[in-house]
Structure 1
Amino acid sequence: MRIIGGRLKGLRLNPPKNLPVRPTTDLAKEALFNILQNQIELEGLKVLDLFSGTGNLALEFASRYAENVTAIDRSIHCINYLKDTARQHGLNQITTFKADVFKYLELESETYNLIFADPPYDLNRIPELPKVIFHKNLLLPGGLLIVEHQSMQNLSNHPNFTEQRRYGHSSFSFFEMPENQ
């Protein structure tokens, strides 16, 4: 696992082996950031990283000068690893919270340019994520929600769905908040 762009490009991440995670592969992450770079300005973004695990994506966004990255995970070990890594590399724009994602979303009132969710693939509540996020208006106008999930899962029935990109067994489903919301 490595940072693929920005000021920490090339940095190898070595999380403890015992973390309860399935990190986004470098190949899928590189493809995702190629898509994002062609759609939005990454610098200055306000990002919410749900099920952040090792913080792989949070660190990538911070390395690419996101203004603010909020990372949520229920594992204190994941949160501590991300906090330590961010501190070690001067990524002060990363804020972490140990919380159940759905409980966190119930209370959240901030709005974001981009929300990324990488839930455990066996979580049966994955289709609820877009429903909750759009119901609570957690995205700014023109904002993106990206949900990573198994390729065999289909999230296209949500009205804000725009596309699904497959990378082997993993897919990214994209949802967009209209500009004139």
Structure 2
Amino acid sequence: MSRIIAGAAGGTTLVSVPGSLTRPTTDRVKEALFSRLDAFEVIADARVLDLYAGSGSLGVESASRGAQSVDLVESDGKASEVCQRNADLVNTVARHKIVTVHRSRVDSFLDRTQAAVRWDLVFLDPPYPLDEPALAGVLAKLLPHLAEGAVVVVERSSRTPEPSWPDGMERFAERKYGETKLWFAEPSAEAGPDAGPDPAADPDGT
């Protein structure tokens, strides 16, 4: 059973996706992840994108902690319905719509997103069957939609290789939690002098 850990909707129990359609982020990993994001100071007022959202756990956690807006992208019908139920929980607490659910394939969603749209924080927890070239293609489509100083978090099995970052995006940290590994990436230096979070804000180093 997953829950919202902190913020305005902290303690709220989330609806889970039935069966084994998705691979939810454990509360232990989620707590560690958001502790680091808090240190990077990227959540408050952020425009957040949660790709391969599953139950929407990461996106709604961001909304609870003060994100300005959250887009959940999930192609499976049952999972997207769960996303909507969890989005409704947070939107009700906020008394306005913060979280929007998009039932769509990730690559199709990015293809039709207007060029001017930018996100400050992006989560990608793709299904294991998604191969590395396909993931690299999604990251390349995502790059033009990253705001200056954006943070991208990729969650994968610790047995998979590091994602292939497109030109203009680079990893700045990684962490392993049992069978789960998180990679943190940012627009690379040539994208602007202030791109990416301050490494000094990372309490564990890189």
Give the TM-score of the pair, scaled to structure 1: 0.90
Residue 157 of structure 1: how far off its partner (Å)? 4.9
Residue 5 of structure 1: how far off its partner (Å)? 0.9
Of 128, 148, 159 in structure 2, the residue corresponding to residue 141 of structure 1 is 148
Unaligned runs of 5+ in 2: 196-206
Of 78, 99, 107 in structure 2, the residue corresponding to residue 102 of structure 1 is 107
Which consecutive aligned stretches of 4+ in structure 1 deviate over 4 angstroms post-superposition? none
What's the secondary structure of 1:70's corresponding residue?
strand
Distance 1:24 1:10, change over 3 A: same
Paired with 1:171 and 1:141, the residues of 2 have a C-alpha distance of 25
Paired with 1:17 and 1:64, the residues of 2 have a C-alpha distance of 26
Deviations 1:41-61 (A, max 9, x none): 422110010000101111101
Q: Does residue 174 of structure 1 match 2:197?
A: no
Quote the residue 1:150 is aligned against: 157
Unaligned runs of 5+ in 1: none
Distance 1:25 1:116, change over 3 A: same
Contact 2:75 2:103 in 1 (8 A): yes
Paired with 1:16 and 1:170, the residues of 2 have a C-alpha distance of 19
Quote the residue 1:67 is aligned against: 68
Residue 80 of structure 1: how far off its partner (Å)? 1.7
The structure having more radius of gyration, on CA atoms, is 2
Residue 99 of structure 1: how far off its partner (Å)? 0.5
Paired with 1:26 and 1:84, the residues of 2 have a C-alpha distance of 19
- Describe how 1:42-121 pairs up with structure 2 within 5 A: 42-89=43-90, 90=92, 91=94, 92-108=97-113, 109=115, 110-121=117-128
| Aligned residues between the structures | 179
> Sequence identity, in percent?
28
Paired with 2:179 and 2:98, the residues of 1 have a C-alpha distance of 32
CA RMSD across the alignment: 1.8
Residue 153 of structure 1: how far off its partner (Å)? 2.0
Deviations 1:82-120 (A, max 9, x none): 222322441520011111101111222311001111110
What's the secondary structure of 2:71's corresponding residue?
strand
Paired with 1:14 and 1:78, the residues of 2 have a C-alpha distance of 10
Pick which of 113-122 and 14-23 moved more: 14-23
Residue 171 of structure 1: how far off its partner (Å)? 0.8
